[in-house]
Structures are given as C-alpha cells and as structure tokens.
Amino acid sequence: MSFFLDTGFIFFVIPAMLFALYAQARIKSVYARYAKRMSRNRLTGRDVARSLLDQAGMDHVPVEVTQGHLSDHYDPRSKVVRLSPEVFGNNSLAALGIAAHEVGHAIQHDDGYAPLGIRNAIFPVASIGSQAALPLFFIGFIFGGNYFGGLLMDIGIALFLCAVIFQTITLPVEFDASKRAMSLLGSGGYLQGEELKGANAVLRAAALTYVAGLAVALAHLIRLIILRDRD
C-alpha cells in the first residue's frame, strides 16, 4: 500500500484540504470587503484595543504593532496585544473586529478562562507533535509490521493526537474571544447596526479557518489509524 496515495488520503484528507482551501478563500474575500469599509467613529484598531483594555482594568497590558500580514495575536507570556500594521493604524470594520478579538483573548487570560489555560499548557507538546508525528509514522511505516516499525507508528499517532487535541481546544477559545469582542464593540458603542454585522462577518470567516484546521487534523489522524491497522 502506498503511504502517499491510499483510501484514507482520498476519502478523508483530500475533502478536508478542499474545505481548508475554501475557508482560506472565504476569509480573504470577507476581509478584503470589510477592510475597505471604514467605521464612523474614526478610531483605529490600536485606539479600540487600548480603550477596551483600559475599560477592563487592564491598563498594564500594552498594545504593540507587529510585522506580518494579519499576524495579530495576544501573547500570554508577555501579556501584550500585538496588532499587524493593517489593523493597528486602520479604522476599518475588519480592523476593529480583529483588534477587539485579540483584546478578548487578553480578557480571557485575565479572567482565568480554563480552555485558554489548557491550550497554552499543551502548546509546546502539540507543536512538537505536529512537526514530528508524520516523519516518525512514515519511518515506522517503511519498517513495516515489525515491533520497531509498529512502535514508531504508535508514537507518531500519539504525538499527532496531541496536535488534534490542541486544535479542538482552540475552537471554544476562538469562538469565546469573538463573542466577547462583539459584545464589547456593541455595548461600548464603538460599532453600531450594519457595522457590527461587518465586523462579525470577518470574525466568523476567521473562525471557519480554525474549524477547517481541525477537520484537516482529524482527517490526517483517521488516515494514520487506518494505515496502522492495515499494516
């Protein structure tokens, strides 16, 4: 049986990858649309992030600009909200939605939101697992059904499972951050009516990429298990 073209790859991985391509195309399209629609309040992503943090009693959390396209994130180790240039200095609906989303993560951290803590704790293992799992499994697959080959495949599956668990926990973390963001933007009067719908569309499209990421990870895991059982 070929490692590179098998029934698991054809029936699970390929459909999941097509879904991921759709999700990427969707976020690019939605972001491009609402990056051109400016908010009436004239506030930039940096302004909104700073204001929301201050209102949450988190004036100690800085808002910094970071390089890279849509590289926005909250760093829990440094306790810093980092926004990409197109979000930091922009007052588009997309920029404000993304900025508020990252503040949502900062508030999660400050509140001790359990799924975020679990995700941060398993990140090192999941990162190693996502990089080492497939090579280990492939080496074991080459060795065939002997003890050493089977052991390597089992280790590869176990490591990849860690990556899948990380992806699974990521979903509620991201959904909750977006929910907090929309609540903050609406209740604070930063966006209203159709503006809120635009920002929400961007965050929903971004959330779809995380769903697709989990689908791809699950598809690969199922494929590895099928190959292991048939070896």
Which of 170, 167, 162 minimizes the C-alpha distance to 126?
A: 162
Q: Helix (H, G, I), strand (E, B), or coil: what is residue 217?
A: helix
SS3 content of the chain, % helix, strand, coil (to 5): 75, 5, 20
Given the residues 102, 174, 194, 195, the one annotated as active site: 102
Do 221 and 160 meet the contact criterion of CB atoms below 8 Å apart? Answer: yes
Cα separation, 55 vs 59, in Å, equals 8
Whether 102 is catalytic is yes
Burial of 154 (0-12, 13-18, 19+ CB in 10 A): middle
Do 218 and 163 meet the contact criterion of CB atoms below 8 Å apart? Answer: no
Catalytic residues: 102
